Each structure stands twice: as structure tokens, then as C-alpha cells.
Amino acid sequence: MPRPLTTADLDWALDLVESRRRDLAEHAPHFWRPAPDARELHGRFLGNQIGRAGTVALRTDHGFVFAGPRGDGYLIDDFLVDSDDRWPTDGAALVRAAAGGKSVRIVCPVHELGRYRLAKSLGLTVAESWWTHDLDAAAAPGSAPEQISVDGTTGRLLPAPPVYAPGGPVLILSAVTSLASLAEAERQAAAAGSPVAVVPQRADDLSRAQLLTSAGYRRTTDYYDGNV
């Protein structure tokens, strides 16, 4: 039965996070490379969420969830169980208790099959996916432009979240028009020291998915939406 997660539970929760963080890094070595002080930074962040207005923090004996405000519902990212066979039981109970009948978006790394199956079992559907591609970042990068634009392919170079250390700014591309313009945008980003490019793709934009596959991108994360 889910119950409130307290500051006394943080070390236990962070132990689960540490194990998962190592697994994430194996699947996207640049995008998910942990910062040296990731545990401390993440612990500080999660500690600030406990008791925060609009945020729900719950645990069972085998898992926990933080549900942050997103529109009229919740975004669920920090959400773990201690073994895959707990997703249908503890995982489902945590999501239902946190959502309280409202809409949710659950962040699902593609390789985390237990989390994916849980999202499907709750009736959620993929709204968006993130694709990533490692770049050959320059050893002595030039100044990073605020925005990159090549024949309609546009993006920005942004710092990674503090718990990650990819080795430079991340290229986030909002529009992609062709393989050639994508390659040039990547070249410019790499020259500015970016080690990884990220492209969001709406679930109904199959042409973008095909283009990204052709360009060597990997679908890294799915975002599942719906009411629970």
C-alpha cells in the first residue's frame, strides 16, 4: 500500500537510483553519462520535492514515485521499483495513488521493458519519443552558438541536467527537414563541443522517425500519456 515518502527514505531511494543510473549509462553513454556528484545533486533535488505544493511523493516497501505538476495532471520521471517483477504490483499501485484519476505523463526509457509494459497496462499511449545520436565533439571547441539553423533544421545548444555529464552542451533539434541539413547542424554542434544530439518526435510523425533512423539515431525515451 503506497504511503508518503519522507526525508528519512531518501538514502534508500537514492540507492535504487544509483543502480538504475549505471544501467542508463550503458544504453546511452553520452546522453546519460552520470555526473561525478550525481547522487548528491539528485538527493538535494528530490529532498526539495518532498512536501512541495503540487508534488506527490510516495513509496511502498519495494518502490517509490515522485509525481510533479504538469498542466492539470502529473509528470512521472523519478519512479523506480527494486525488481522488474514489482512493476505490475507496486509500480501500478504507486502510479494510481499518485495520479488520483488525473492525467499523467510517464517517462519510459525504451530499454526499460517493465516500465513500458506497466504504462501500456494502465492504458497509456506514446505521445512523443526522444531520439539521440552521439557526435564527434571537438577536443578544443569554439564558442557555442545560442541557436543552430540550417535550411529549416533548427536547434539549440543547451546544458545537460546537472545529474548528467555528457561532456559538453546537448544539441536539441526542434525541426529537421533533411538528412543533409541534419548532418550540417550536427557538424556545427560538434565543432562547438556538443557530444550528443537529441530530436523529439511526435508519435504521429512517422516521416521524422524514418529520417532519424536513416541518420543513425536511436529511439532512447518514450513519453506515455493518459488518465489513470
Task: Say if residues 137 and 167 touch (Cβ distance below 8 Å).
Answer: yes
192 within a domain of the structure (yes/no)? yes
Q: What is the reported pLDDT for 142?
A: 67
Residues 119 and 147 grouped into a single domain: no
Residues 69 and 156 grouped into a single domain: no
Residue 32's pLDDT band (cuts 50, 70, 90): very high
Domains: count for the chain: 2
Per-chain mean pLDDT for the chain: 95
Residue 15's pLDDT band (cuts 50, 70, 90): very high
Residues 106 and 140 grouped into a single domain: no
CA–CA distance, 7 with 22 (Å, rounded to integer):
24
Residues 52 and 9 grouped into a single domain: yes
**Cell 556545427 -> residue:** 188
Q: Which residues contact 205 (CB under 8 A, 6 or more apart)?
A: none
User: What is the average pLDDT across 54-59?
Assistant: 97
204 within a domain of the structure (yes/no)? yes
* In the predicted structure, residue 190 carries a pLDDT above the cut 90: yes
What's CA 189's distance to the chain center, in Å? 21
88 within a domain of the structure (yes/no)? yes
Residues 134 and 189 grouped into a single domain: yes
14 within a domain of the structure (yes/no)? yes
Residues 104 and 193 grouped into a single domain: no
Of 2, 1, 224, 223, nearest to 98 (Cα)? 2
Residues 10 and 120 grouped into a single domain: yes
Which helix (H) or strand (E) segment holds residue 142: the answer is none
Of 80, 104, 127, which one is at a domain's C-terminal end? 127
Q: What is the reported pLDDT for 165?
A: 95
99 within a domain of the structure (yes/no)? yes
Domain extent for 88: 3-127
The torsion angles phi and psi of 119, rounded to 5 degrees, stand at -55, -45
On the 0-12 / 13-18 / 19+ scale of CB atoms within 10 A, 102 is middle
Residues 73 and 171 grouped into a single domain: no
Of 88, 108, 127, which one is at a domain's C-terminal end? 127
Residues 206 and 108 grouped into a single domain: no
Of 127, 152, 182, which one is at a domain's C-terminal end? 127
* Residue range 123-178, pLDDT digits in tens: 999 999 999 999 999 877 767 788 999 999 999 999 999 999 999 999 999 999 99
227 within a domain of the structure (yes/no)? no
User: What is the average pLDDT across 65-83?
Assistant: 97
Residues 83 and 140 grouped into a single domain: no
